[in-house]
Chain A
Amino acid sequence: MKSIVKDQVSIAVRSTLYALRFTVFGLLLGLILLVSQPLKIQAAEGDLKPGDIIGPNNWQKIKDMVGPNFLKRVKQGYTFQIKESKKFKPPREYVEATEKYSGGVKLASNGYLENYVLGLPFAKLDPNDPQAGEKLAWNFYWRWLGDNYKTGGATKTGQIIRYAIEKNGDERRSDLVTYTIFPHTRYMLDPKPVLPGYEHIDWMQLRVVGYPRDSAGVSTFGIRYTDPDKADDLYIYIPAIRRIRRGTTTQRCQTLAPSEFNLDDINSFNGKVTNFNYKFLGEKKVLTNFTEEGLPFRRKKGDYLPLDEKWEVQDVYVLEITPKDPSYCYPRKVLWIDKTTWESTWTLVWDKKGDLWKEQFAFRTPVKLPDGREVWSVATVVIVNVQNGRSTVLTAVRAHNRDYPPSLWSLATMQRMMRGGSVE
C-alpha cells in the first residue's frame, strides 16, 4: 500500500516537473519572440493567397485584419474571396515634391507643422520617434488627393450615391456631389504650387445635395484654414428660403443625419490635426479592396456588405487618435492607414465605456487623371454604428484635376443654386 502511494506520488511529481519544464520553455520562447519582434502586430495573414475563400469556417485567418464587427459578420456566414493586391504609385509630381521639400519639414513641440510646402511631410517614419503618431497624422492629412476633385464625378450618375440603412433593413437614398480644391498644394494644374491669394487656405469644399427633391439644392461651402488656431468657415444655402446662412463648425460631433457620419468622420478623419493626440501603434496587414469593380457594389437590400467584391491584403500603419478636448464625442479612434496611398482603409471608434461604437471601411478604385495616368480614388465607404444598428453606404468615386475656376468656390455659386441643378 505504502509503495503504491509512493509510486503514485512519484508519477505525479514527475508529471508536474515535465509539465513545468514545457511551461518554462514555452514562456522563454514567447519572451524571446516578443523581444525580437518590435512593434509588429502579428496577424494570421500568412496563409492568404488569391483565390482563397474566407468564411465562417476559417475566419481565424483574417482575425486582426478586419474590424471586429465585420469579423462577426464573417463568423455569422459572410463569405468572400481573396484577390491579388493592387499596388498604386503616387503621381510623379507628388514624389518629386516629397523628395524636394520633406527634408525641411519640422514638427514643433506643440504638434504644429513647420516649413511645409508640398508633398508628404515626413517621408520616413521612425517607429521609435516619440512624435511618430503626429507625423503619421500629418502624412495622412497631406496625402495626395489631387489639385482638386469632384467626388461623385467618376460614378455612373456623376454623383455620390448614399444609402442610410436602418437596423431593420429599411433604406433611404440621397445623392450629392462635392467639389474640393487644395489651393496651395498644386502639383499639376497651373498656377503651381499655389493659387495667388489662397496661401492661407488648405482646402475649400462645396457640397451640393441632388436628391431627394426637398433636399436638392441644399449646399454647404466649407473652408479649412492653414492657421491651426482658426476654426473652419461654413456657409449653408437653404433653397426653401433662398438664403445663405453662416454655420458654425465647432460642433464637430453633430450627426449628419440620416447618415451615421459626423463632420469629423468625413474622409475617415476630418478634424483639425492639432486638436488631437496621436499614438503610432505599429504596422500590420489588413484586408481591403483597392480595385472595387461594382460602383456601387452589389449588395442585399438592407445590408451593407458587398456580395461580389473580392478583398486583398495591404500593408498599413495603425494610428490611434484621442481628443485634447475631454468633451469630444470620440474618446478613441483608430485608423489603419495604407502605406502607399496614405488613405485610411479601416476606421474604428470606441465610446467612453470602451465599447466599439462605429466601424468604417473604405474601398478604392483606379481612376484616370485627365492626362491618362492611373491614380486611386475612394470608391464605396461603409460606416456601421454597431450600437444602434444603423449603417450608411456611400459610393463616392472622384474625378481629379478638373478644369474648375477658383470662382466655383464662392458665395456667388451658392446664390445661383437651383434644385437639381449643376454648378459646373
Chain B
Amino acid sequence: MNNQDTVQVTMTVNGRTRVEQVEPRLLLAHFLRDHLGLTGTHIGCDTSQCGACTVLLDGQAVKSCTVLAVQADHQAVTTVEGLGQRGGLHPVQQAFWDKHGLQCGFCTPGVMMTAVGLLQQNPTPTSEEIREGLDGVICRCTGYETIVRAVAEAAAVMAGEAGPSAAAANE
C-alpha cells in the first residue's frame, strides 16, 4: 500500500459492513479481491470489455475494474460469493450448473452477475434479448449457447414456473 492520501471507505459487501483505508486509485475489483479476499470476482481485461469483474453495486450490474473503491463508499456490493452458496444457490447459479453454462469458469462469476442484472431489468427476455443483454461479457469457452439457455432457464424459474417454459428456453 502506498501510504499517500488514503481515505476511508465503508461498504456493505455481501451484507457485511466493511471499513477499510484505501488509496483513491484503488479499483473496486482490487478492493474486493486483495483487501477483502473475495477472489470470485475476476479481472479479464483492462478496457471494460470482458465483464468478468461484474458485480452488483446497489443492485445494478457494474464492471468493478472501472469503478474506484472510493466511488462505492457507503454503497452495497454483491459479489458472486454473496449471490448464493452451496445449499442456497441463486436460480442463476443453479441454471448455469444445470445447463452447462460454464467451462473454465473464469468469466462465469461476471457473466452470472450480468445475467442477474439483466433479469432485473427484463425478467422475461427472449433468447435474442439475452444475447443482447450479454453484450458486456466475453466468454471464450462456451460459444454462449449454453449460457443463453441457462439465463432463459433462470428467468423461467424466477418467474415461478416449474421448468424452462418461458419464451426463450425452448427456442
To the question of whether A and B form a pair in one complex, the answer is: no
- Interface, chain A (partner B; CB < 8 A): none
- Interface, chain B (partner A; CB < 8 A): none
